[in-house]
Amino acid sequence: MQILSEGLSQCAGIFQNKFCIGFVPLGSSDSSHLEGDCRNKVLQRAFSLHPAHAPKDMENFFQLVRNIVPALTSKKHKGQDGRIGIVGGCQEYTGAPYFAGITALKVGADLTHVFCAREAAPVIKSYSPELIVHPVLDSSGAVEEVEKWLPRLHALVVGPGLGRDSLLLNNVRGILEATKARDIPVVIDADGLWLVAQQPALIRGYQKAVLTPNRVEFSRLWEAVFSSPMDATNQSDSILKLSQALGNITVVQKGEQDLISNGQQVLVCSQEGSGRRCGGQGDLLSGSLGVLVHWALLAGPEKTNGSSPLLVAAWGACTLTRECNHQAFQKYGRSTTTTDMIAEVGTTFSKLFTT
């Protein structure tokens, strides 16, 4: 791992299990201090830390994610480890809300509710009996119907399979306002981001929001906020500025490397994935992130060693998604689909984040 911040040049190496987190001086190619098989198994992660917010030591983010994962005990009851709402699903797009919802369950949420358009509901129900499906999103009383369930939910994932129908978007606008009023964490992806680009004030300054744009969606958000084209030559600077302009909310820019920022620091997740970019992969990310955001906020900053809980959650979700892609690709190669990736969630999560 390289330190990309001014004034931070080097620190000690950390060795752990099959992953070796290497810390090397900037500009140095010397890896002689890395031992044994670790030399060829370096999991490169990069941080660009605002100097005023540099931690006293470089925490191991794998351990920070492990810290927020709740223990499984017989004393718990159904729902305590997460009740997640997915807002999306229309006539054209039924797979995305299913992917997000089933991923949330496989990461460890107890219950997943999908709030979708009426025509999408029978299809989504047919995919899995484990999802609770509400066919209300295109009704005139959609906001009120969803609002009834908000007190029971720990986090919302808004956007998978949403589409751009004006009625649906208007209802989601009201749902976002109700979600903020109840201080519920919200992950926004896909056409939820298109809505935010039309009205950035919807989420500006809401500290429990996480946006997960790909490069096209990121450019659209940038132009909506700054009214000018984005400078693609410095992506770390761009994500930092966009987060700041939106009130320091957490932004995850998906790409060859995933950039994560809360307006104060930028993390780069470069966990190995593959060259396969199948449709629905982002829904796996948003579904897992919804669960991890809830767990991170529940655990609190003491479990994240002072790091932002949302940054830790986002880094964990990016790492999980990329590793699921890698594992599925090893089996299926070019034919890998999101369904194949979801089948890897359980074992991959245990390998990465279960002590």
Written in H, E and C, the secondary structure of the chain is: CEECCCCCCCCCCEEECCEEECCECCCCCCCCCCCHHHHHCECCEEEEECHHHCCCCCCCHHHHHHHHCCCCCCCCCCCCCCEEEEECCCCCCCHHHHHHHHHHHHHCCCEEEEEECHHHHHHHHHHCCCCEEEECCCCCCHHHHHHHHHHHCCEEEECCCCCCCHHHHHHHHHHHHHHHHCCCCEEECCHHHHHHHHCHHHCCCCCCEEECCCHHHHHHHHHHHHCCCCCCCCHHHHHHHHHHHCCCCEEEECCCCEEEECCCEEEEECCCCCCCCCCCHHHHHHHHHHHHHHHHHHHCCCCCCCCCHHHHHHHHHHHHHHHHHHHHHHHHHHHCCHHHHHCCHHHHHHHHHCC
Using the predicted structure, report yes or no on whether residue 286 has a pLDDT greater than 70: yes
What confidence tens digit (pLDDT) does each residue in 52-107 have?
333 333 347 899 999 999 999 999 999 899 999 999 999 999 999 999 999 999 99
Least confident range from 113-122, 136-145, 198-207, 227-236: namely: 227-236
Mind listing the pLDDT tens digit for each residue in 9-30? 222 222 233 333 333 233 333 4
204-238 pLDDT, tens digit per residue, is 999 999 999 999 999 999 999 999 999 888 999 99
240-270: pLDDT as tens digits = 999 999 999 999 999 999 999 999 999 999 9
pLDDT at residue number 60: 79
Question: Domains of the chain by range and CATH?
Answer: 55-67+81-353 (3.40.1190.20)
**What is the reported pLDDT for 232?**
85
